[in-house]
Each structure stands twice: as C-alpha cells, then as structure tokens.
Amino acid sequence: MFRRVSLLAIFLCTVGSSTLPARSWTDRSGKYHIEAELVGFKDGKAVLKRPDGRFVSIRASQLSTADQKYIREELRRRRGNKTEEPTGAPKPAPVPDEPETIEYEGAKELCKLANNKVNESSGLACSRNTPGVFWTHNDSGDGPRVYAFNTEGKDLGSCEVAGIRARDWEDMASFKMQGKSFLLLGDVGDNKKENDVHELYLVAEPPVDPARGVTLPQIPAAAAIRYRYEDGRHNCESIAVDPVTKTILIVSKDGGKSCNAYAIPFPNQPTAEPLVAKKIATLSIPTTTAMDVSANGRRAVVLTYGDAFEYRRAADEDWAAAFARQPRKLRMPRRAQGETICYGPDGKTLYLTSEKAPSPLWEVPVKAAN
C-alpha cells in the first residue's frame, strides 16, 4: 500500500516542503499503518520519510479521513505562515481544494478545415508541442492516419501510424508524460458489441512545422494497450488520459439515459494479457461521443451529440469521487454530427469539430475578466 519512491521523485515532491515530526499514518482500509514524517505533497500524493530513512509515496485519497484532514490543515498552515519561511524559500504546495469554476462565452466557429480528406472527424486533440496545432482522425473506413491543422483550418498534412490497424477509431487524447508528448488513439468503437478486447495505441506526437506541416510521413506506434471491460461488452466513443494520476479514462456509449465510466492505470510496461477497465461510476448522461481531461488533471469534459458535461476533481480525490457528483452542463453549438471535443493548451478553452466535410472548427472561449 505504501509505495517506495525514487530519489528523483523525492526531489520533485520535496521542493517547497519541510519535514514534520513523525506520526502514525493509516490507509483508508485501516489495515496498513506506518510511522513517518510528512516531507512533501505534489500531484495529489504525500511523500513520507520512515525512521529508517526510506521514503514512501501514497495518494492522499488512499489515506484515512484523519490523515487527509491533517495534510489539508498542514498545507494551509504552510501557505499562511509565510513569515516563518527564510527569504527566497520555495513556495509550499497549494492546498488541494476544488478548482475554480470557469465561465465560458458562447461558441464561435473559427474556420472550416481545408483538408476534405477529414470527412468523419471522430477524435480531436491539441498539440502538446506546437501551440495552435490540432490533431484529428476519421471514423471507421480510413487507414491508421492522423491529420494536423491549425486554428485557421490550414491543412498541415498527415502522418500514418505504422504497423497497426484502424478498425473503428472513435477518440484520441494528447498528453505529456515524463517530459514527452504523446497521442493515445482509441480503437474502441463496437456498435454491435461483438468484441471482448479493444485496443488503445500510444504514439509519440509527430513533429509539425507550423509553416511546412507534418515532417514525418510515417511513425511507429510506441505501444498497443489491449483492454477488456470488467462487466461485459460495451460500445465506446470517449477516451481521455489524466497525466497527473496516470489514469486512462473511458466512458461507454450504450444508449439510454446513462453510461458507465471506467479507469485503467497507465501501464508501466507491455503485458500479454488484456488490462481490465474497472467501472468507477455510472453517469446520468445519454449518448456520449467524446471526452477529454485538462492537462492539470483537474477537469474532465464529456460530450454528447448536444451539450457537454464537466466534472471537477480535487487534488486529493480520485476520479470515482469526482464522477460521483452532479456534473456542470455546458452549452455546445449545434453540429451536424459532433463527436469530438478537447481542451486547448490552456486547459480551459474548449474546441470541437463535426463529421462531414468540410468540417467546421468551433471554439468555446473562456469569458474575459471584467
């Protein structure tokens, strides 16, 4: 339960922290206990130092209620007690409260995509390397190919993902992990619920020159992540990656007035057996078509053919807790067949496309402060 961490992780987590006297820590189940000092808190995890000098890391949501309260109070104390800090000391970690509410303006159409080969835009992700660039892919019927464009709709070319198939690609996600930019492509569509196992393809984001476009015509997949649902077969059009908790999120599209949310821990290494997507929530949302998670891991937006629904996660929560609350409904523009949504590089502004060529690109901007 209490996981050892590397020296690098300890450096990252102890920036802006100070040790406290050892105390007894208990996990949420009450089965595991440890005597340790709190030396840091980062990305929802507490780093603890044992009396023998070893360090362990545990997500705050896995600790007892009393321990979670202790962490919150200690972080508040550090934030407010600035006079005790020496000049030039790093700032303490932020208090893991709910993130602020974002106020959006009405959606506006930015452009039509110039590339008519994008005729069934079914996945959308912003570039993590080149600001202003976006990636999309077609629905079933196209090959394993991703297309790049900018906010003016300029065709920036495409890149084939070598060595994989495109049976029914339905969504994609972009994210940074360990300093590198990736795309995750979801071959997850299953309208007739005929498949037990589905594939997610991890790809290093292809390089794009803002003027010349995609610079590599082909790129290999870095990994194929095979998975199955723990509760039977499901159709799906919505995947996302939380790079902070290193979690792959999946929302089913089963028809009716609700859907299911599933989670898969991001794998550290390839495995021959399919991973298990575990159900973490039932969402009262009909006909989901896409989703995304903000780069800071605090917001998830789930799209339907009509509007979208936003969920917010506190730093000391997991997604099961966030999805257990009522979402916030976000008004989206009318589309011919809207099956894509993503956050922009700022983690707040929303972007959408629609199937049928030429595909429009919409922006739902953040309302300017008065």
pLDDT, one tens digit per residue, over 258-301 is 999 999 999 988 888 999 999 999 999 989 999 999 999 999 99
Q: Candidates 3.20.20.120, 3.30.499.10, 1.10.10.10, 2.120.10.30; correct CATH number of 108-364?
A: 2.120.10.30
Before 333, cis peptide (omega within 30)? no
Residues of the chain with CATH 2.30.30.700: 3-84
At 7, list the tokens: 């020296």
pTM score of the predicted model: 0.75
Q: What pLDDT is attached to residue 81?
A: 57
Query: How do residues 93-151 score in pLDDT, each as one tens digit?
Result: 443 444 568 999 999 999 999 999 999 999 999 999 999 999 999 998 899 999 999 99
**CATH numeric code, 3-84:** 2.30.30.700
- Residue 113 near residue 153 (C-beta atoms within 8 A): yes
What is the Cα–Cα distance from 196 to 348, expressed in whole angstroms?
35
Q: Is the dihedral of CA 120, 122, 128, 132 positive or negative?
A: positive
Query: How do residues 84-102 score in pLDDT, each as one tens digit?
Result: 333 343 343 443 444 568 9
Read off the amino acid at residue 147. Y
Residues of the chain with CATH 2.120.10.30: 108-364
What is the Cα–Cα distance from 22 to 49, expressed in whole angstroms?
8
Query: How do residues 301-358 score in pLDDT, each as one tens digit?
Result: 999 999 999 999 998 899 999 999 999 999 999 998 999 999 999 999 999 999 888 9
Helix, strand, or coil (residue 211): coil
Read off the amino acid at residue 123. G
User: Which positions ≥6 away from 142 have C-beta within 8 Å?
Assistant: 120, 166, 169
